[in-house]
């Protein structure tokens, strides 16, 4: 049911400062820096093999990332696991008694579907489940 770690989300105060470590010191590449008004955040994507690190800088005070950073400072915010069928995964986890933040998957800007599991049910870790649209796995679904 779970295919791989899709990404690890890290909340940072300032992406430019964080890139000095993740890009310059660690030598990771940045594919994109995206403004995401829907999340109240700016996100930098740094792929590593089959997965990526996402640096998340809150830009509005009421965003999830801002609330996290106020409480806990910078650090790992969530781990995202790719699943092939998000509805099935949610139903299964519900049956096993896990507390879900999203009972129904949210749809992201590219049609991808995602849902969060409450950290209380996962030993303190916020887990995101992510299902790619078929066209998305082929990448560049937006071209042409
Ligand atoms: Zn994520």
Cβ neighbors of 116 (< 8 A, separation 6 or more) are 78, 100, 101, 102, 126, 127, 128, 129
pLDDT band at 137 (very low <50, low <70, confident <90, very high): low
Q: How many CB atoms lie within 10 A of CB 61?
A: 9
In a domain, 140, yes or no: no
In a domain, 73, yes or no: yes
Number of domains in the chain: 1
CATH code for position 107: 3.10.180.10
Q: Which residues surround ligand 1, an ion (CB under 5 A)?
A: 9, 80, 128
In a domain, 139, yes or no: no
Ligand 1 centroid – CA 69 distance (Å): 15
Average pLDDT value for residue range 65-93: 95
In a domain, 78, yes or no: yes
* Structural domain span for residue 95: 2-134
pLDDT in tens, 88-135: 999 999 999 999 999 999 987 778 899 999 999 999 999 999 999 866
Ligand 1 centroid – CA 78 distance (Å): 7
In a domain, 141, yes or no: no
Residue with more model confidence, 111 or 56: 56
pLDDT in tens, 5-45: 999 999 999 999 999 999 999 999 999 999 999 889 999 99
**Residue 1: per-residue pLDDT:** 87
Is the pLDDT confidence value at 144 over 70? no
């Amino acid at each position: 049911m779970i295919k791989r770690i899709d990404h690890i989300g890290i909340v940072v105060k300032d992406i430019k400062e964080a890139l000095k470590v993740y890009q310059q010191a660690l030598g990771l590449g940045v594919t994109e820096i995206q403004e995401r008004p829907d999340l109240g955040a700016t996100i930098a994507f740094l792929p590593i093999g089959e997965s990526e690190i996402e640096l998340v800088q809150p830009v509005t005070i009421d965003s999830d990332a801002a609330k996290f950073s106020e409480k806990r400072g910078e650090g790992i915010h969530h781990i995202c696991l790719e699943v092939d069928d998000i509805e099935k995964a949610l139903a299964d986890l519900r049956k096993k008694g896990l507390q879900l933040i999203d009972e129904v998957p949210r749809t992201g800007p590219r049609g991808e579907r995602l849902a969060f599991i409450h950290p209380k049910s996962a030993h303190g870790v916020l887990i995101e489940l992510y299902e790619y649209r078929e066209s998305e796995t082929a990448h560049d679904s937006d071209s042409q």
